[in-house]
Amino acid sequence: MRAALPEAGHLHRGVSRRSITIVGASLAGLRAAESLRRQEFDGPITLIGDETHAPYDRPPLSKQFLAGEWDRDRLALTKPEKLSEFDLEFRLGTRATGFDLSTRRLSLSDGDDLEVDGLLIATGARCRTLPGTDGMEGVFVLRSIDDAEAMRAAFDAAPSRVVVVGAGFIGAEVAATARQRGLEVTLIEALPQPLGRVLGDEMGAVCADVHRDHGIDLRVGVGVDAVEAGRDGRVERVRLSDGSVVEAEVVVVGIGVIPNTEWLEGSGLEIDNGVVCDATCLAAPGVTAAGDVARWPNQRFDEIMRVEHWDNAVEQGGHAAMRLLQDDDEARPFTPVPWFWSDQYDRKIQLAGRIRPDDEMQIVTGSVDERRFAALYGRAGRLVGVLGFNRPRHVMQYKTLIQEGSSYADALAAEI
Amino acid sequence: MKIVVDFDLCESNAICMQIAPDLFEVRDDDFLYVLNEEPGEDRREALEECVQRCPKQAISIAE
């Protein structure tokens, strides 16, 4: 049955669109626009982005850019000469402030009000912050290039200590880069192990060891009670829930993100921890969503997902763009195997699939001691995930097995 | 059509190998090998997906 459906990437003309408007000019939005052009959609495409910069790549911000190895020019998502070939209209430094599904009117922060035909929502997410830290000098989050530049300048000033709140992927990468720059780092995690909720406590403990081996003062199972500034408004210390106090000149907060959907309140679209879509990424007729902001049922895992990974933004951007040109009969469900990587110190951590802390887990190659291994995760007899530390080939080959619906037992026995 | 990989950028994430195992292979030494540098036009679509989805933007196509 699946074979009878059109393959991804083929030309669809089930629905003819005059124009397509993409709100959000970062990875998902840009790749969506490029997919439309590659599929020979030749109507006007407008991208609306709240940042003033041309679309840039965010993953290097916490690594090469923060380390001072790369400058802004290297971050372009698509080189300027290539970008101009796509003939896209960019309205940068402009925020969408409202949308009305019944009239299909989109309002912008510059006062403009447009009628849209096809609409793709890719407004991403923003960082959560700690209460009481708004405007406090020396406290940073990391999402945008401006955030990264400010943080880099703070690192350049050789602070006596950097406190990173949250040992998720962003926090871990910032901590690793700060150490690489020779700074003293305290990393604070509320859970018993870093990434415990994602990888389970056993693998979380491996991540904890990697941090400690690199000289990080890692504190787990403690929360932040308060971040305090001196009279000059600069941050001075962080008070933890176990009563301890850490002096800090720089505090980095990496405690997750919130999808940017406020502008869609009252739009007629369903909003619930993201823009709610059907299995094909359609939120309403002629409206799709992609990237961090999109929530949709991934039929492969029988789970409603909102995925904040780089690769998902690329893939879902393309899928949601094509969906705007398809009628309901030819639309395909979006069923990716989520995948991401995180580079910390000299380790490349990759995870593919959808794992839970209580899944079965077994190492299939390498060992935890050498910090080079691949581990498989199974649930109800099915292969649901693969975690790799410096094992990219294995991760990708097991990812293919997940895609093929392999059983856990077959995957364990597979010669990879 | 010629595949160009910038090996200074490549970090062997192996996404390309998953999309086009006939063109790319990451081996146990963690390095990427291009198996066929000049594939036929029928592989253009797959290759364009590799270009887009390479996390390091290390792959390009020379016409």
The domain A2-126+258-323 is classified under which CATH number: 3.50.50.60, 1.10.1740.10, 1.20.1530.20, 3.40.630.30?
Answer: 3.50.50.60
pLDDT of residue A13: 61
The pair phi, psi for residue A158, each rounded to 5°, is: 50, 60
Nearest to B45 among A9, A57, A343 (CB): A9
The string of DSSP letters for A355-408 reads: --TTSEEEEEEEETTTTEEEEEEEETTEEEEEEEES-HHHHHHHHHHHHTT-BH
Where do the H-state alpha helices sit in chain B?
Answer: 15-19, 44-53
Backbone angles phi, psi at A317, to 5 degrees: -55, -50
The CATH code of the domain at B2-62 is: 3.30.70.20
Contact B55 A310 (CB under 8 A): yes
Nearest-by-Cβ selection for A392 from B30, B52, B57: B30
What residue segments make up the domains of chain A, in order of their start?
2-126+258-323, 129-255, 346-413
- Equal fold, A2-126+258-323 vs A129-255: yes
Provide the shortest C-alpha distance from residue A393 to chain B (in Å): 6
Residue window 27-56, chain B: list those with CB within 8 Å of chain A.
27-28, 30, 45, 48-49, 52-53, 55
Could you read off the pLDDT of A329-380 as tens digits, one per residue? 999 999 999 999 999 999 999 999 999 988 999 999 999 999 999 999 999 9
Instruction: Kindly list the residues from chain B whose CB atom is less than 8 angstroms away from the CB atom of residue A400.
Output: 18
Per-residue pLDDT of chain A (416 residues; tens, 9 = 90+): 333 444 444 454 688 999 999 999 999 999 999 999 998 999 999 999 999 999 999 999 999 999 999 999 999 998 888 899 999 999 999 999 999 999 999 999 999 999 999 999 999 999 999 999 999 999 999 999 999 999 999 999 999 999 999 999 999 999 999 999 999 999 999 999 999 888 888 999 999 999 999 999 999 999 999 999 999 999 999 999 999 999 999 999 999 999 999 999 999 999 999 999 999 999 999 999 999 999 999 999 999 999 999 999 999 999 999 999 999 999 999 999 999 999 999 999 999 999 998 899 999 999 999 999 999 999 999 999 999 999 999 999 999 999 999 999 999 999 98
Nearest-5° angle of CA A15, CA A311, CA A329? 25
Does the structural domain A129-255 have CATH classification 3.50.50.60?
A: yes
Pairing, β A139-140 against β A347-353:
unpaired
Interhelix angle B44-53/A310-323, nearest 10 degrees: 130
Question: What tens digit of pLDDT does each residue of A120-132 get?
Answer: 999 999 999 999 9
Q: Does A310 touch chain B (CB under 8 A)?
A: yes
Q: In the CATH hierarchy, which fold is given to the domain comprising A346-413?
A: Enolase-like; domain 1 (3.30.390)
- Would you call B13 an interface residue with chain A, using a CB distance cutoff of 8 Å? yes
Task: Name chain B contacts of A341, Cβ cutoff 8 Å.
Answer: 13, 55
Complex ipTM more than 0.85, yes or no: yes
